[in-house]
Amino acid sequence: MPGNDLQRLHVRLEGRVQGVGFRYFVYDQAQALGVTGWVRNRWDGSVEVTAEGERSTLDQFLAVLRRGSRSSKVLDVHLAWKPASGEFTSFQIMPTDG
């Protein structure tokens, strides 16, 4: 039954992921899949993503993140799964965090 398998995915992506429109790529993919959460650049050059949705949808989202956009090159992916909090109502691009 939909809604019973909501999860939170936290991902930090390393590689050529800043200065290539990667956050906008992530935002567009999140919108297309209907996941909520946020994406932001980090001062260390990585990109951080927190997303909530059905586990199967987040699995699709993660596969897209691993592939990256045409202009990016994802070299490493650090991820963690947690129960969804339900705190997000949309997906946003957030300011850079340290």
Catalytic-role residue among 4, 8, 40, 41: 41
- Is-catalytic flag, 23? yes
What span, in angstroms and rounded, lies between the C-alpha atoms of 73 and 51? 21
Q: Which tokens in the block code for residue 43?
A: 């001062």
CB 57 within 8 A of CB 65: no
Catalytic-role residue among 23, 40, 42, 55: 23
- Is-catalytic flag, 42? no
What span, in angstroms and rounded, lies between the C-alpha atoms of 16 and 2? 36
Q: Which tokens in the block code for residue 79?
A: 């991820």
Annotated catalytic sites, by residue? 23, 41
